[in-house]
């Protein structure tokens, strides 16, 4: 189960409240948390540390994945009607999401033989 929140005070507050609800549905070790659009302008200096500290303090959430804000890539995707990965494959946001998928989801849920193939997941799918 993946919980996604926005990296601003309102989004983080909503994420913490929703996480409590998720704990009623699944064990904490089955819930993965990812925080999107991390930027200093919304939470202050060193946003990653501030977000991690807030999630731990108010929600007991450890090891949340952080996706940096990349408005140029997001806007390019919107403008062209493509995914961010298609519109801006070198975006730091795309790299962060790929690390999350690889480290958190694939490693936790896929048999060993499939884990060896995870490098292939970084390429576009034939039907995509």
Residue ranges of domains in the chain: 1-69, 70-128
Predicted local distance difference test score (pLDDT) of residue 10:
96
Q: Are 12 and 35 in contact (CB under 8 A)?
A: yes
Minimum mean pLDDT among 28-37, 84-93, 106-115: which range? 106-115
pLDDT tens, residue by residue, 8-31: 999 999 999 999 999 999 998 889
pLDDT tens, residue by residue, 44-67: 899 999 999 999 999 999 999 999
Predicted local distance difference test score (pLDDT) of residue 103:
83
**Over pLDDT 70: what percentage of the chain?**
80
pLDDT confidence band for 70 (50 / 70 / 90):
very high
Q: Give one DSSP letter per residue of 87-128, joined into a string.
A: H-TT-HHHHHHHHHIIIIIIHHHS-HHHHTTGGGGGSPPTT-
**Does 123 or 111 have the greater pLDDT score?**
111
Q: Return the number of other C-beta atoms located less than 10 Å from residue 82's C-beta.
A: 12
Asked whether the predicted pLDDT for residue 82 surpasses 60, the reply is: yes
């Amino acid at each position: 189960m993946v919980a996604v929140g926005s990296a601003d005070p309102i989004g983080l507050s909503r994420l913490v409240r929703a996480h409590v609800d998720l704990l009623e549905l699944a064990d904490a070790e089955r819930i993965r948390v990812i925080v999107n659009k991390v930027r200093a302008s919304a939470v202050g200096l060193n946003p990653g540390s501030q977000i991690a500290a807030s999630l731990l303090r108010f929600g007991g959430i450890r090891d949340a994945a952080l996706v940096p804000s990349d408005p140029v890539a997001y806007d390019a995707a919107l403008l062209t009607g493509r995914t961010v990965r298609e519109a801006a494959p070198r975006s730091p946001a795309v790299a962060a999401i790929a690390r999350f998928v690889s480290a958190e989801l694939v490693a936790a849920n896929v048999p060993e033989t499939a884990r060896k193939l995870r490098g292939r997941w970084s390429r576009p799918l034939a039907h995509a």
